[in-house]
């Protein structure tokens, strides 16, 4: 059928091939309408696709259209959180943390102060912030020790916004904010000279830094009210204890003596809030200036975190962080670009062992949208497992959910090598 016969609004709907629709057939129910070139419904949301109907309609000359992913969702020209409020909290945090450092403990009143400060920010969030808004954190460091305080505020805000955008309840948002805010409180029991040391730490100094997660747990576990009742929720204590645990790399604290459990199984046992807090902690560390290290740009930091998939963090956790916060942190712009070379990960059953194995493929991004930046259209050209060049397979990751991006290649040398593979 001629393109001139298309009367559907192509600014709102995009044409899709029958092969993609066939992948969605079966028991799955559609979450969107499928229309013909005249705007008439072929399938409606809530229905299951039928191969028989698809074939019949195609033979009749029907072309299929689905809602176009809009590029205007979310308003990214304003701040999610008022910066004056963040600065005020950072100043109050500096005072409170100084007192805790001197006393070596956290009082019930100080815990309530932390709770009330963050609650004031949470109450100011608006419904439209769930789909847009720029998340700018504290970057102006007054002095070296102030880094500790701004880092605590930043991680608390990151966790709060992540959980908030996931449409969680108010209680979960408050817990996430508090957990992030207090995750590093154990550093207050580590000598300042060690925390502030600009060069490499000695072995003994490094061991003391490693203890800050256990110290954080002890501080929070000892907070009691006037009746002697422990008041800090367990999940907040677990975040302080486990936010440095890793997937393939041990992290800390880690039990080498537990022979029955792999590093991966130990990682998966810790609460999901502790795992995602580790990524929030990593992101803020990468993008914050210190006297001995320049900060990464937001885009570079997001690409760096993507490359930690299935290494320091699970792919699920990394994609969760990037999907929810990637656009807000990067002012509404995708951190992946057309032309980027990426590695895809999927699973298949081995014909030899009948066990699931991970499959890795190299691809190039051909098309990308702002909203679905982690699910672009790609051209797969290399099978890593078989060390074999493929015949340039085009795949739209919005519909092929079996494959996920786990690496983006930054090295100029590697990019040139991959370009040669395409010739």
pLDDT tens track for 129-149: 787 889 989 877 666 567 778
What are the two backbone dihedrals, phi and then psi, of residue 136, each rounded to the nearest 5 degrees? -100, 130
341-349 and 404-408 strand pairing: antiparallel
Q: CA angle, 326 as apex, 93 and 289 as ends, to 5°?
A: 45
pLDDT tens track for 173-190: 999 999 999 999 999 999
- Cβ atoms within 10 Å, residue 205: 16
pLDDT tens track for 117-131: 898 888 888 777 787
> Which residue matches tokens 């074939």?
55
Question: Which residues neighbour 178 within 8 Å (Cβ) at sequence distance 6 or greater?
Answer: 114, 115, 118, 156, 236
Take residue 342 and report the two structure tokens written for it: 């990426």
**How much is the pLDDT for 266?**
84
**How much is the pLDDT for 2?**
46
**How much is the pLDDT for 46?**
66
What are the two backbone dihedrals, phi and then psi, of residue 272, each rounded to the nearest 5 degrees? -60, -30
Whole-number Å distance between alpha carbons of 154 and 409: 28
Do 277 and 155 touch, CB atoms closer than 8 A?
Answer: yes
pLDDT tens track for 190-241: 988 888 787 788 889 989 999 999 999 999 999 999 999 999 999 999 999 9
Question: Which residues neighbour 335 within 8 Å (Cβ) at sequence distance 6 or greater?
Answer: 298, 299, 302, 303, 306, 322, 326, 373
Residue 421: band (very low, low, confident or very high) from pLDDT cuts 50, 70, 90: confident
Question: Which of 143, 249, 248 lies closest to 192 in space, CA to CA?
Answer: 143
pLDDT tens track for 248-299: 887 888 766 566 677 788 888 899 999 999 999 999 999 987 766 788 999 9
Kind and range of the H or E run holding 103: helix 83-103
Residue 359 in this model has a pLDDT that exceeds 80: yes
Total H helices, total E strands in the chain: 15, 9
Take residue 155 and report the two structure tokens written for it: 């991680």
**How much is the pLDDT for 72?**
47
Residue 31: band (very low, low, confident or very high) from pLDDT cuts 50, 70, 90: low
Average pLDDT value over all residues in the chain: 87
The average pLDDT across 308-315 equals 95
**How much is the pLDDT for 22?**
79
Positive or negative CA dihedral for 349, 353, 355, 358? negative
**How much is the pLDDT for 3?**
45
pLDDT tens track for 51-100: 888 889 999 999 998 876 555 456 787 889 888 888 889 999 999 999 99
The average pLDDT across 358-363 equals 94
């Amino acid at each position: 059928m001629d393109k001139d016969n298309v009367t559907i609004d192509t600014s709102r709907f995009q044409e899709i091939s029958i092969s993609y629709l066939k992948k969605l057939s079966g028991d799955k129910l559609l979450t969107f309408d499928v229309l013909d070139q005249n705007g008439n419904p072929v399938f409606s949301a809530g229905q299951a696709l039928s191969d028989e109907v698809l074939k019949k309609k195609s033979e009749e000359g029907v072309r299929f259209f689905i809602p176009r992913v809009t590029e205007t969702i979310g308003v990214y020209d304003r701040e999610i959180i008022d910066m004056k409020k963040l600065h005020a909290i950072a100043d109050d945090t500096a005072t409170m943390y100084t007192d805790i450092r001197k006393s070596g403990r956290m009082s019930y009143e100080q815990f309530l102060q932390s709770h009330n400060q963050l609650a004031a920010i949470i109450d100011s969030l608006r419904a439209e912030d769930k789909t847009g808004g720029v998340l700018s954190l504290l970057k102006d460091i007054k002095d070296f020790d102030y880094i500790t305080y701004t880092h605590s505020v930043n991680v608390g805000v990151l966790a709060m916004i992540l959980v908030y955008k996931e449409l969680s309840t108010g209680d979960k948002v408050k817990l996430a904010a508090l957990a992030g805010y207090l995750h590093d409180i154990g550093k207050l029991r580590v000598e300042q000279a060690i925390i502030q040391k600009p060069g490499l730490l000695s072995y003994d100094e490094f061991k003391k830094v490693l203890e800050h997660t256990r110290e954080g747990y002890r501080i929070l576990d000892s907070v009691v009210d006037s009746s002697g009742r422990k008041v800090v929720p367990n999940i907040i204590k677990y975040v302080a204890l486990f936010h440095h645990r890793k997937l393939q790399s041990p992290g800390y604290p880690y039990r080498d003596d537990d022979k029955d459990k792999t590093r991966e199984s130990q990682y998966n046992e810790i609460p999901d809030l502790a795992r995602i807090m580790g990524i929030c902690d990593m992101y803020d560390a990468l993008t914050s200036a210190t006297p001995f290290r320049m900060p990464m740009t937001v885009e570079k930091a997001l690409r760096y975190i993507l490359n930690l998939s299935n290494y320091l963090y699970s792919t699920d956790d990394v994609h969760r962080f990037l999907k929810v916060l990637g656009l807000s942190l990067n002012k509404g712009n995708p951190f992946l670009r057309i032309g980027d070379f990426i590695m895809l990960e999927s699973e298949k059953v081995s014909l030899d062992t009948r066990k699931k194995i991970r499959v890795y493929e190299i691809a190039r991004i051909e098309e990308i949208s702002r909203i679905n930046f982690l699910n672009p259209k790609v051209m797969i050209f290399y099978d890593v497992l078989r060390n074999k060049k493929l015949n340039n397979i085009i795949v739209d990751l919005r519909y092929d959910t079996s494959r996920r991006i786990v690496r983006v290649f930054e090295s100029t040398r590697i990019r040139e090598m991959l370009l040669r593979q395409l010739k």
